[in-house]
């Protein structure tokens, strides 16, 4: 046996063990790493506001606290407002449920010649095995729901703490990162950081502006239809449709459709049609103009990045995909060498056609008829004097 073989075998086993340990640690810490990634992008989003307040003489920690406090107040207000809407609608539905049930039973009796009654239907539902099993399963699932809610609150707290530290100690974090790099690499890191702040802030700015426009448009529609809670529903549609990619528009339009249905069933169809039409207007008219000035990313690239982010990290990846791709595109654009485009028809596409031969013949005939002198007798042919030149 060669003397190097046992050493190579031990080294290979050690490498395999390190790989297994690293894979196990990565899967155990994947939740924490995702939270840190979300916190980093959230810190980049509030960096312009914090830096502006710090430039006016305010301590950076206090400025970060004020910005996050404003975000927290706005989020809590939005949740409370939405909760009040849902609670009132649920109460109205529960109060009017006996009327709906009576209408349904009367329709069944008239259509199918039956003799059902609301009391009999209620007794059969209350004493059914299906309802008892559902109540038992719901009772056992209360602990799971409570654990999920507590886990979500703990995750939000973790994200806010990390994002607060990243935003408050941003200069210190950059100095610590650059201290282990040579000067040339330090400039690259600082430039990448600046691009990330600019693109993330631009993305949130464009989304906020589109949320405002969407909210105003839907508010006007809901007010015209007389749907209750129009301001709150407009805020819901504007925020959810812009900050939940891909399905946010249809998810946001479901609640106004439901409430409009309680007013009049046809109003729900009006709301659905307006949501679809406005989505097309936003995709093809509004969004390209706004994102071209802020994020500067092609709509196809944005759509693909959202799909890729969703496949990799779920909803979190869908949220941070566009600013991450915009930052990477802007950073790599500096290193891509570009050349002048040759004057070739294949570069600019085929030239527009002048028309078919038949159309060209008709045009020539019309021009010849217009330029030809008219005959004295109105026949359309020049007279003999004109032909002889006399």
Task: Give residue 24's pLDDT.
Answer: 92
DSSP result, 298-354: -HHHHHHHHHHHHHHHTHHHHHHHHHHHHHHHHHHHTTS---PPP--HHHH-PPPP-
Which pLDDT belongs to residue 182? 87
Q: What does the block give as tokens for 251?
A: 């998810």
Q: How far apart are CA 167 and CA 205, in angstroms?
A: 18
The upper half-sphere exposure of residue 219, i.e. CA atoms within 13 Å in the direction of its Cβ, equals 13
Q: Which two tokens stand for residue 70?
A: 């404003």
Cα 181 to Cα 170, 195, 332, distances in angstroms: 17, 19, 20
Per-residue pLDDT of the chain (390 residues; tens, 9 = 90+): 788 888 889 999 999 999 999 999 988 888 888 888 888 888 888 888 888 888 888 898 899 999 889 988 988 887 787 777 767 766 776 777 677 677 778 888 888 877 777 777 777 766 667 666 766 666 565 566 667 778 778 888 888 889 888 888 888 888 888 888 888 888 888 888 887 887 777 777 788 888 888 889 988 998 898 888 788 788 888 888 887 765 677 788 888 888 888 777 788 889 889 988 888 888 777 776 776 666 667 767 777 777 787 778 776 777 777 777 877 777 676 666 667 767 766 666 665 555 556 556 666 665 665 555 544 444 444 444 444 444
- Token pair of 227 as six digits: 């749907």
Q: What is the pLDDT of residue 348?
A: 62
- 233/213 Cα distance (integer angstroms): 14
Structure tokens at 288: 């390209």
Q: How far apart are CA 252 and CA 235, in angstroms?
A: 10
Q: Helices 142-168 and 170-178 sit at what angle, rounded to 10 degrees? A: 70
Half-sphere exposure of residue 254: CA atoms within 13 angstroms, side-chain side:
6
pLDDT, position 84:
75
pLDDT, residue 366, reads 57
Distance between CA 165 and CA 43 in Å, rounded? 8
List the structure tokens of 331: 């950073």
On whether the CB atoms of residues 279 and 249 are closer than 8 A, the answer is yes
pLDDT at 138 (0 to 100):
60
| CA distance readout (Å), 339 to 151, 328, 336, 342, 349 | 53, 21, 10, 9, 19
According to the model, what pLDDT value does residue 291 have? Answer: 66
Residue 119 is predicted with a pLDDT of 73
Residue 62 CA to residue 73 CA, distance in Å, equals: 16
Question: How much is the pLDDT for 16?
Answer: 94
Length of the chain: 390
Q: What is the pLDDT of residue 14?
A: 94
């Amino acid at each position: 046996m060669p003397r190097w073989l046992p050493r190579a075998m031990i080294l290979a086993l050690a490498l395999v063990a390190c790989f297994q340990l690293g894979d196990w640690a990565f899967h155990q810490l994947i939740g924490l790493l995702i939270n840190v990634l979300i916190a980093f992008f959230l810190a980049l989003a509030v960096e312009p506001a914090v830096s502006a307040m710090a430039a006016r003489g305010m301590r950076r920690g206090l400025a970060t606290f004020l910005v996050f406090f404003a975000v927290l107040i706005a989020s809590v207000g939005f949740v409370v407002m939405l909760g009040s809407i849902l609670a009132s609608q649920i109460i109205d539905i529960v109060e009017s449920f006996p009327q709906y049930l009576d209408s349904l039973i009367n329709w069944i009796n008239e259509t199918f010649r039956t003799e059902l009654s609301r009391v009999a239907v209620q007794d059969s539902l209350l004493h059914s095995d299906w309802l008892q099993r559902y109540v038992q399963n719901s009772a056992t699932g209360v602990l799971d729901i409570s654990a999920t809610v507590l886990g979500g609150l703990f995750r939000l707290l973790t994200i806010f703490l990390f994002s607060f530290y990243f935003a408050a100690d941003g200069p210190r974090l950059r100095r610590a990162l650059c201290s282990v790099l040579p000067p040339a690499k330090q400039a690259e890191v600082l430039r990448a950081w600046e691009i990330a702040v600019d693109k993330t802030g631009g993305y949130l700015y464009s989304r906020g502006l589109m949320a405002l426009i969407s909210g105003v448009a839907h508010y006007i529609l809901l007010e015209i239809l007389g749907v209750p809670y129009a301001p709150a529903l407009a805020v819901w549609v504007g925020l959810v449709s812009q900050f939940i990619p891909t399905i946010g528009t249809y998810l946001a339009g479901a609640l106004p459709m439901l409430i409009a249905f309680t007013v009049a069933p046809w109003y729900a169809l009006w709301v659905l049609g307006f949501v679809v039409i406005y989505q097309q207007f936003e995709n093809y008219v509004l969004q390209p103009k706004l994102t071209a000035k802020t994020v500067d990313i092609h709509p196809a690239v944005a759509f693909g990045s959202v799909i890729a982010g969703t496949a990799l990290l779920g909803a979190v990846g869908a949220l941070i995909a566009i600013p991450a791709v915009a930052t990477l595109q802007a950073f790599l654009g500096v290193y891509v060498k570009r050349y002048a485009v040759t004057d070739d028809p294949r570069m600019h596409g085929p030239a527009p056609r002048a028309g078919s031969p038949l159309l060209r013949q008709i045009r020539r005939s019309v021009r010849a008829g217009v330029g030809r002198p008219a005959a004295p007798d109105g026949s359309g042919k020049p007279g003999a004097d004109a032909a002889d030149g006399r």
